Structure 1
């Protein structure tokens, strides 16, 4: 191909890319996305620590372009979907692997089995609890200061980023409702326990705020009582969700939504939203066919009743019709479910999906 032909080809490619991005080469809607949480969004932080809570083997990641990265799904997680919708052209790296200028796009600190309380998940081995994740973020902030040259520039930059926090599931799953390992359910009523969790959660949010965070997306706990694991262990018919677990989850969620109001009123320049993951999942469970699901009570991959007594084993063959399953394994949603939750978190389809507004609006503020 002669030079003029190459030149025309390059121009054509640039034009096509520009059209795909709405007329201009798109920049992300926010400069960076920082992610805190547990196995629902962990993308590799547990890979190299002594823990049973790992997913860096097939068939995990069977539908993900990079294979088994450590994500507890067959494909993308909810924050992967949100990152795409925010305009990021690549996935946010895990803290364990994030290096150099890469951290300016954001970092994922999430750790499988982690909770708000430090003891949560200890029976599974190593994990990085919420406090540890916030401490790791502090280390990142110092690196951002070094890259940008001074604290003022770093503070201005970080104030525009979104901080996604989705933690608390394990404080029920791998703590409160595991009485053989933990005494919390004997020490506290569900109301008292939720108060305790919110108190600790609040302190960590304030620590993030003190290190530059201003835009927070707080993700509520989903319906743990409807997971294949809960159904396998506690449901008489293997289909009816476990009410006492879901009731406790809703107590926590109500208090978390209240925390959003409180901090929005009392924290200068902070903007917090609440994502109603519980309500979104309720829609998927109550009207599965409307969303393309045919199986809501069993994992696509797993062992035992409901494929929910043990998570997916290395090399195990999963179901073929993965897009029709709500759950990938005993605890975690499929990419199909994560995609719906991520999209409705970013752009609310119902007024109850996000409060007081959705992630798209948060990015604009």
Structure 2
């Protein structure tokens, strides 16, 4: 099949008209938020790592109040916007910079290039895999225990755990055969099965540490990422079909895991956010990646060239660089995850309902 790169833009534009006026007032809806993931959520954990996957320089952060903090976009990430929608006054600090921070409100462990598998993204240098992020969280839980004593578990039980990871296990592992052997050894179905099995092990570890509310974010259509279109020699309106199919296989297995864990752990709630939803209306929509090129001039790694001036009309660009969405798209996806207006976008509920439990 041929996937047009109008992708989820119609869905997202619909979300924008519905939720752009939404705001949250009062106390945060949960006492704390813990964020695990990759560059889509990283807020500075990679800044001091020996890796090419770090962006603590302009034009990244050009629209962020604090400038280039290590966020892989022009402004806020989806995790940042979820944080605001939940009513937090400040963004959740990166684990690398928790000194002096109020860890009782949460920590961001996400790391650019990281994946579920340990080796994912390591051709770029060091990263913090999901397993290492969970280990870092155990250290934070220990500190929270010292602060709250026997009330620590009750506190953690009410927190939201936002997990958005897996893209790099494909883009920086499975579909990068010059660096990793996984593609030659495993079918897409078997690879997704192994990923979700390992993912489930880490979720169980979080549950053992007190986590009870989980928002698991599915993969976007990876074959519609501009870098993948470019390296496969596709036209601007055609996605890479094999990569999209692989992402959907992973999403199906992750959704099945949500069902299984909701039965297996009746004291907890797991939800799945379907990032790969495509509206049928997209076929008649005028927006496509052929019309919306990336916003900054990129180097061979697909990231913005340091100190190069980005585009001026950043709200009209789906992607800031060749991998990462612009803040405008992050706003729309975050709002859709928080309060989903489209059936099957969130399963079995959206974040706004999850946090009420």
Settle same-fold status: TM greater than 0.5: yes
1:44 aligned residue: 44
Q: Where do 1:12-91 residues align within 5 Å?
A: 26-91=26-91
Q: Where do 1:198-347 residues align within 5 Å?
A: 198-279=196-277, 298-303=293-298, 310-347=302-339
Q: Does the residue aligned with 2:173 lie in a helix, a strand or coil? A: helix
Q: 2: distance between equivalents of 1:56 and 1:276? A: 29
Q: 2: distance between equivalents of 1:52 and 1:119? A: 15
8 A contact 1:232–1:309 mirrored in 2? no
Q: 2: distance between equivalents of 1:335 and 1:234? A: 26
Shift of 1:99: 3.0
Shift of 1:205: 0.1
Shift of 1:295: 5.9
2:177 aligned residue: 179
For CA contacts below 8 A with separation 6 or more, give which structure has more relative contact order.
2
Specify which of 167, 170, 174 is matched with residue 169 of structure 1. 167
8 A contact 1:263–1:272 mirrored in 2? yes
**Residues 44-86 of structure 1, C-alpha deviations (whole Å, 9 max, x = no match):** 0000111100010000000111100000000011011111110
Q: Does the residue aligned with 1:277 lie in a helix, a strand or coil? A: coil
2:131 aligned residue: 131
8 A contact 1:37–1:166 mirrored in 2? yes
Aligned residues: 336
Q: 1: distance between equivalents of 2:333 and 2:192? A: 24
Q: Where do 1:107-126 residues align within 5 Å?
A: 107-126=107-126
Root-mean-square deviation (CA), in Å? 2.0
Q: 2: distance between equivalents of 1:189 and 1:37? A: 24
Unaligned 5+ residue runs, structure 2?
1-21
Shift of 1:223: 1.1
1:97 maps onto 2:89 in alignment: no
8 A contact 2:93–2:108 mirrored in 1? yes
Specify which of 147, 153, 156 is matched with residue 154 of structure 2. 156
Shift of 1:268: 3.2
Q: Which runs of 4+ in 1 moved over 4 A?
A: 282-290, 293-297
Return 101-110 or 198-207, whichever deviates more: 101-110
Unaligned 5+ residue runs, structure 1?
1-19
Q: 2: distance between equivalents of 1:255 and 1:40? A: 21
